[in-house]
A and B are shown apart, each in its own frame.
Chain A
Amino acid sequence: MSTVTTLGAPGTVDAPFAEALAVLGVTRPDTVVLAADLSRYTDVADFAQRYPHRFVQVGMAEQNLMGVGAGLAKAGWVPIITTYGVFATRRAYEQVALALSTGRRPVVIAAFLPGITTPFRATHQAIDDIALMRNIPGMTVVDPMDAIELRAAVLAAVDLGGPVYVRGLRGTVPAQLDADTYRYEVGATHLLRDGADVGIVATGLGTTWALQAAERLESRAVRTAVLHVPTIKPFPTAAVLAFASRFPAIASVENHSATGGLGSAIAEALSTAGSGRPLLRLGTGQEWPPAGSLEHIRRSVGLDAAGIADRVAELLRQVTR
């Protein structure tokens, strides 16, 4: 069910993934970290240096990366497999599905450069990874909204008893959740902001974007609630349906294609429940997003605060006309 979660003072955390690995280095001697020539770009280098005997480099070869990870799991280790989301999913999908997911062993795939968070276009922007991972039986799929949630999700993932796909955020990462009180739990959703007029369901960085849009809507007298859903699979259906039932229409915001990810999961839940509630799915569309800064790309695909706010306001106009 949904909990009301209070945001802490906004800040940043340097290399939250490295922090999580540092903790696991001490608390979980059964963990090993794998890299495919991106350890310096996924905040893994510190772990590799401190625990060289628990670090496996496979070079630029993601299919083998997944297979070696599966083998390590079968030798009793808990592998934490690091690479970019595009390579973890498109390049090595069959290996993730068969080698990592036909057994039930704990394994964590930490997949960086989610969505449009990279200036390189289709080669590096993982805009379809959630859609792919969501279709693998037994896979848990997590899209953390900030550094605090990423750290907590990685620490929790090693204990989930099966494969977990976590979207990673590297370098200096915004922090909004309260580090002292936040706990990651599969199935939990977080009401980050309440409002009576319209509801936005969001995940990952999309949650921050939704909160920004909600501010703008508030100034236009549209009271907007934001429900953060960090776990796309298993999908917290009951909590999302309960949230949706409070509004004449809802929107979804995600750093991912509007097809196959959070928005689709909500649509499936609404239609299965027989709800006719209108849903506006906001994400990337059926064109490859452009190159450039995150701000530029967000504006281009309509995921900047103004773009989201305008479309949500229009949605509300349509349903209340």
Chain B
Amino acid sequence: MNARPDASTIEDLAYRIRELVLAMCVGRGQGYAGQGLALADLMAELFGRAMRRGEDGGYRDRFVLSTGHSAIALFATLGALGWYDQKELETYGMDGSRIEESPLEGVPGFEITGGALGQGLSQALGIALGERMAGRDTTVYCLLSDGELQEGQVWEAAMAAGHHRAANLVAIVDDNRMQADGATAEVMAVEPIDAKFAAFGFEVVRVDGNDPAAVAEAVPPGGRSAAAPLAIVLRTEPGHGVPSFETGHRVHYIRAERALWERAAAELAATRNP
């Protein structure tokens, strides 16, 4: 086994993910860049360190993306790891491209069809139970979002995960506080997220999702030993890493001229080499 990657390796990976997120949006001038940038630190921790790999190099722990619109984060992560090349990622959302904004299952890395929000946690639970029933030591990480918690199926799944003590299930809530119609708190309040998951039998932690050290501490490596499933409420800042997006584009979806994407890339680079 390789040594556990150090923090700078994970930060390098997160930076590369952010570069690719921006590169993916240039072609059409639009995309879910806010989510991709915000999730880069989590994705780097998950795919760079937490999830275990088998002898063939493939991941033996599993990742389920419920929030299909955040596919950009997963594509960019897999791109940074060499599963996709940048040229193909730059066709994000274009006619005929398999780099879809919200893909169906079966594209490499995408275990489920996410994006019809609310469906992922059930499937992650099913995988977790199935792996446990088969006697395999597999941890299943499921990424969902705060707005998605308004879907009732999420709580059906949470109830069942607690009931079945699915300790090999880790639910990660991207608490970005925005949804299609505006601020989550105004559209339909979902707080207190932590108390809700705790009531359904989860262990719960809240963490700043854009503080790499905090993320590293909150996200357990695969093979966690516990008696209950875990929920991580990950407070993220949409657009994190690109200052003008953090302040000016706290929106669900970004459309912009090429010049603005180029400025975003320069801003990202400046955070690296101030």
Contacts and interface: CB of A to CB of B under 8 A. Distances in A.
B208 to A, nearest CB: 30
Nearest to B128: A71
Contacts of A102: 104-106, 113
Given A61-B159, A68-B160, A99 B133 contact: no
Interface in B153-173: 153, 156-157, 159-160, 163-164
A77 B134 CA distance: 9
Interface in A150-184: none
Contact of A70 (B104, B123, B128): B123
Contact of A76 (B120, B128, B130, B164): B130
A71 B160 CA distance: 13
A103 interface: yes
A59 B134 contact: no
A66 B122 contact: yes
Contacts of B131: 75
B116 A70 contact: no
B104 A67 contact: no
Contact of B126 (A61, A63, A70, A98): A70
Nearest to A74: B127
Contacts of B236: none
Contacts of A94: 116, 119
Interface in A246-270: none
Interface residues of B, number: 31
Q: Choose among B122, B129, B157 the residue with the greatest number of A CB atoms under 10 Å from its CB.
A: B122
B129 A98 contact: no
Q: Choose among A53, A75, A94, A103 the residue with the greatest number of B CB atoms under 10 Å from its CB.
A: A75
Contacts of A16: none
Contacts of B160: 58-59, 61, 64, 68
Contacts of B127: 71-72, 74-75
Contacts of B37: none
B106 A59 contact: no
A67 B133 contact: no
Contacts of A53: 133
Interface string A39-69: 0000000000000011010110101101111
A70 B122 contact: yes
Interface in B96-153: 104-106, 111-113, 116, 118-131, 133-134, 152-153
Contact of A67 (B106, B130, B153, B164): B153
B151 to A, nearest CB: 9
Interface in A84-115: 94-95, 98-99, 102-103
Contact of A63 (B104, B111, B130, B156): B156
Contacts of A67: 119-123, 125-126, 153, 157
Nearest to B68: A98
B158 to A, nearest CB: 9
B199 to A, nearest CB: 16
A77 B130 contact: yes
Interface in B39-92: none
Contacts of A76: 130, 134
Nearest to A67: B122
Contact of B123 (A32, A58, A68, A77): A68
A94 B117 CA distance: 11
B133 A77 contact: yes
B130 A98 contact: no
Given A76-B134, A98-B119, A99-B119, A68 B112 contact: no
Contacts of B122: 63-64, 66-68, 70-71, 95, 99
B123 A99 contact: yes
A59 B105 contact: no
A82 B157 CA distance: 17
B61 to A, nearest CB: 13
Given A66-B122, A70-B123, A95-B119, A103 B106 contact: yes
A22 to B, nearest CB: 20
Q: Choose among A58, A63, A64, A102 the residue with the greatest number of B CB atoms under 10 Å from its CB.
A: A64
Contacts of B153: 61, 63-64, 67, 95
B130 A75 contact: yes
Given A74-B111, A98-B116, A102-B113, A54 B133 contact: yes
A99 B113 contact: yes
A76 B127 CA distance: 9
A76 B136 CA distance: 11
Contacts of B156: 58, 61, 63-64
Given A67-B123, A102-B105, 10 more contacts: A32-B130, A59-B159, A63-B118, A67-B120, A67-B121, A77-B133, A94-B119, A95-B153, A98-B113, A102-B113
